[in-house]
Chains A and B, each alone.
Chain A
Amino acid sequence: MDKLIGDFSVGLFFWQLVLFVGLVLLLKKFAWKPILDSVNEREDGIKNALASAEDAKKEMQNLNASNEQLLKDARAERDALMKDAREIKDKMISDAKEEAKEVTSKLIENAQASIEQEKQAALAELKKQVAELSIGIAETVIKKELTSKKDQLKLVEGILKEVTLK
C-alpha cells in the first residue's frame, strides 16, 4: 500500500483526467453520437421495413380474401340471375300456354257458335222448304181434286218419296 501511494503520480493523474474527459467529450460529439445515431437509424429502418413487409403480407391476404368474397358474390349473383331467368322462362311458357289455351277455346267457341248458327239457319231453311213443299203438295192435291182416299194417300206417298230423294 505504501508503495502504491508512493508511486502515485499527481501529474499523471492530472493529465489522464484532462485527456480522458476531453477524449470522452470529443468522441461523444464526433464519433459516438453519429455512430449510434446511424446504427439506430439503420435498425429502425430495418424494423420499419420488416413491419411494412408484414403489413403488405396482411394486405395481400386481405386482398385475397376480398377477391374470394367477390368471386363468391359474383357466383351467387350469377346463380340468382340464372334462377330468375329460369323463372321468367317458365312463366313465359306457362303464360303462352295459357294464352294459347284461351285462344283455342275462344276459337272453338266461335266455331261452335257459328256451327249452331249454321245449324239454325239450315233448320230454318229446311222448315221453310218443308213449308213450301207442304204448300206445293197441298196445292197439287187440291188441283188434282182428289177422288178417292186411296189415290190421295198414293199421291202423298209419291210426293214424300220425291222429298226424300231430294
Chain B
Amino acid sequence: MHRKITVKALTLVFFLFSIASFAIDNSEEEKAHLTEKTKEQREKEVEAYIPHHLLDSHDFSLFSYTSDNGEHVYFGFPLPVILWDNGLNVFMSSKFHHGETIAKSGENYYKLDHGKIYKTDAAGTLTYDADHHATNSKPLDFSITKNVFTVMMVGLLMFFMFSRMAKAYKNNESMPKGMGRLLEPIVIYIRDDIARPNIGEKHYKRYMSYLLTVFFFIWIINLLGLTPLGINVTNNIAITFCLAIITYIITTATAKKDYWKHIFWMPGVPTPMKFILMPIELLGTFIKPFSLMIRLYANITAGHIVLMSILGMIFIAQNWLGGSLSFLLAMVLGILELLVAALQAYIFTMLSALYFGSAVEEHDHH
C-alpha cells in the first residue's frame, strides 16, 4: 500500500517536471529549430551509436560531445596499444586521435576503423569490400583495450575486496567484518545451494574457487555495464567464450571414468543405441559450454541494445511525452537489468556446477 502511494507520487512529480521542461522548451523552440538536426539525422546518429557503444574500444572514453565549432571532444584517457606485426609495436592509443589520424609505429602505419586496427600506408588508405568491411591486413591486437582495462580493474577490486575479507576473519575469530557480512551469505549460498547439491559433498571443494570467482566476476562486471560509464564487457563474445571454455576445460580435465563411459558407451541401453548415442553425447559436451557462452552474451547484449534504443528514443522524439515515456520504460528496464545482471551470474555458476557435477558423478550400477 505504502509502496503504491510512493510510486504514484513519484510518477506525478515526474510528469510535472516533464511538463515544466516542455514549457521552457517551447519558449526556445524557435531558436532550437535552427541549430538542431532533423529527425532523420538524429535517428541515423542513434542507430550508429548503439553498435558502436557495444564494441570494445582502444581508449577509455567516458563520454564525448560535439563542441560548438563542430569538433568532437572526448572525455577519458588513452590506453596502451600492443600489436604483434612481425615484431612488437607498443604505443598509446592517443596516437589514433579516436580514429581520426594514422598512427606510425616503427616502420608501420596503423589506422582505426570501427574499433579495429588495420595496417595501412602513410596516406592511410583503406580498401572496403561490399559490406563496408575494411580488407586491409590486421596485425594481432593484444592491446589493453577498454574491456581488458575493466577486467583488470574488476580483478584488482575483487582481489582487494576478498583478501581483505579473508584477513578480517583471521583478526576477528572467524567472524565476518564489514563487507564480509554482506558477502559471506553469498559465498555460503554458492557453497550450500550451488556447489554442494550439484557436485556432491565429496568433490565440491575442488571447484569452489572457480565457482566463486566466476560468480562474483560476472556479477560485478554486469553491474558495471549498467553504470553510465559505458563499460560493456560481458557482451563481448570473446569474454563469454573464455569463461565457457574454462568451464569446459575444468569439466573435461576433472571428469571421472563414469563420465566418459556415459558418453562413449552408455550403459543400460541396447548396443545399436550405444552407437547412436555416442555422437549425440559427445556433441552434448560441446553444446553445454557453448550454450553458456551464448546465454550470457545474448542476455547482456540484448539488455544493452533495448535499453539504449529506449534511451535513444528520447533524442529522436524530443518531446515531453516521448521523453517521459522513454525515461519511465528505461527506468523499469534498468531495474530488470539489475536482476538480469545477478541472474546471469547465478545461471552461469549454477550450470558450471551442474556440468562439474556430471563429470565427477559416480553412478551406482544396479
Which residues in chain B, 236-263, are within 8 Å of chain A measured between CB atoms? 236-239, 241-243, 246
Q: In the complex, A13 Cα to B241 Cα: how many Å?
A: 8
Which residues in chain B, 164-180, are within 8 Å of chain A measured between CB atoms? 165-167, 169-170, 174-175, 180
Which residues in chain B, 160-213, are within 8 Å of chain A measured between CB atoms? 162-163, 165-167, 169-170, 174-175, 180, 184, 187-188, 191, 205, 208-210, 212-213
- Residue of B133, B147, B163, B243 touching A20 (CB-CB under 8 A): B243
Q: Answer whether residue A156 sits at the interface, using C-beta atoms and an 8 A cutoff.
A: no
Which of the candidate stretches B6-14, B151-159, B274-282, B303-311 sits at the interface with the other chain? B151-159
Whether A30 pairs with B239 at a CB distance below 8 angstroms is no
CB within 8 Å of A: which residues of B?
Answer: 55-56, 82, 133, 140-145, 147-148, 151-152, 155, 158-159, 162-163, 165-167, 169-170, 174-175, 180, 184, 187-188, 191, 205, 208-210, 212-213, 217, 236-239, 241-243, 246
Q: Answer whether residue A26 sits at the interface, using C-beta atoms and an 8 A cutoff.
A: yes
Q: Give min CB distance, B146 to chain A, whole Å.
A: 10
| Contact residues in A for B242 (Cβ distance below 8 Å) | 13, 16-17, 20
Q: Give min CB distance, B44 to chain A, whole Å.
A: 20
Whether A12 pairs with B147 at a CB distance below 8 angstroms is yes
Q: Give min CB distance, B304 to chain A, whole Å.
A: 14
Q: Answer whether residue A38 sits at the interface, using C-beta atoms and an 8 A cutoff.
A: yes
Interface centre among A10, A12, A13, A14 (most CB of B within 10 A): A12
Whether A32 pairs with B209 at a CB distance below 8 angstroms is yes
Whether B238 pairs with A8 at a CB distance below 8 angstroms is yes
Q: In the complex, A4 Cα to B213 Cα: how many Å?
A: 26
**Additional 14 contacts, C-beta under 8 A, given A7-B55, A35-B180, A36-B208:** A4-B237, A11-B82, A11-B148, A15-B142, A15-B148, A16-B239, A17-B242, A19-B151, A20-B242, A23-B158, A28-B209, A30-B159, A31-B159, A35-B162
Q: In the complex, A29 Cα to B337 Cα: how many Å?
A: 33
Whether B151 pairs with A32 at a CB distance below 8 angstroms is no
Query: In this complex, what residue of B is CB-closest to A14?
Result: B142
How many pairs of A and B residues are in contact by the CB < 8 Å rule? Answer: 127
- Residue of A10, A16, A35 touching B166 (CB-CB under 8 A): A35
Given contacts A7-B55, A36-B191, A42-B175, contact A12 B159 (CB under 8 A): no
Q: Give min CB distance, B81 to chain A, whole Å.
A: 10
Query: In this complex, what residue of B is CB-closest to A25?
Result: B209
Interface centre among A7, A14, A19 (most CB of B within 10 A): A7
| Contact residues in B for A32 (Cβ distance below 8 Å) | 162, 166, 208-209, 212-213
Q: In the complex, A126 Cα to B129 Cα: how many Å?
A: 184
Tally chain A residues at the interface, Cβ within 8 Å.
35
| Contact residues in A for B159 (Cβ distance below 8 Å) | 23, 26-27, 30-31
Interface of B, helix, strand, loop or mixed by DSSP: helix
Whether B174 pairs with A20 at a CB distance below 8 angstroms is no
Query: In this complex, what residue of A is CB-closest to B165?
Result: A35
| Contact residues in B for A10 (Cβ distance below 8 Å) | 140-142, 238
Q: In the complex, A36 Cα to B208 Cα: how many Å?
A: 9
Query: In this complex, what residue of A is CB-closest to B141?
Result: A11
Whether A30 pairs with B56 at a CB distance below 8 angstroms is no
Whether B174 pairs with A13 at a CB distance below 8 angstroms is no
Given contacts A7-B55, A35-B165, A35-B169, contact A19 B152 (CB under 8 A): yes
- Residue of A19, A34, A35 touching B148 (CB-CB under 8 A): A19
Q: In the complex, A27 Cα to B180 Cα: how many Å?
A: 15
Whether A7 pairs with B140 at a CB distance below 8 angstroms is no
Query: In this complex, what residue of A is CB-closest to B241?
Result: A13
Q: Answer whether residue A164 sits at the interface, using C-beta atoms and an 8 A cutoff.
A: no
| Contact residues in A for B140 (Cβ distance below 8 Å) | 10-11
Q: Answer whether residue A22 sits at the interface, using C-beta atoms and an 8 A cutoff.
A: yes
Q: Answer whether residue A9 sits at the interface, using C-beta atoms and an 8 A cutoff.
A: yes
Q: In the complex, A11 Cα to B187 Cα: how many Å?
A: 31
| Contact residues in A for B213 (Cβ distance below 8 Å) | 20, 23-24, 27-28, 32
Q: In the complex, A21 Cα to B210 Cα: how many Å?
A: 9
| Contact residues in B for A158 (Cβ distance below 8 Å) | none
| Contact residues in B for A22 (Cβ distance below 8 Å) | 155
Q: In the complex, A7 Cα to B236 Cα: how many Å?
A: 8
Whether A15 pairs with B174 at a CB distance below 8 angstroms is no
Q: Give min CB distance, B294 to chain A, whole Å.
A: 9
- Residue of B169, B212, B238 touching A27 (CB-CB under 8 A): B212
Q: In the complex, A30 Cα to B168 Cα: how many Å?
A: 12
- Residue of B147, B170, B184 touching A34 (CB-CB under 8 A): B170
| Contact residues in A for B147 (Cβ distance below 8 Å) | 12, 16
Whether A36 pairs with B187 at a CB distance below 8 angstroms is yes
| Contact residues in A for B141 (Cβ distance below 8 Å) | 9-11
Q: Answer whether residue A39 sits at the interface, using C-beta atoms and an 8 A cutoff.
A: yes
Would you mind naming 6 contact pairs between A and B with Cβ atoms under 8 Å apart?
A20-B213, A30-B162, A32-B213, A35-B162, A36-B191, A42-B174
Q: Answer whether residue A59 sits at the interface, using C-beta atoms and an 8 A cutoff.
A: no
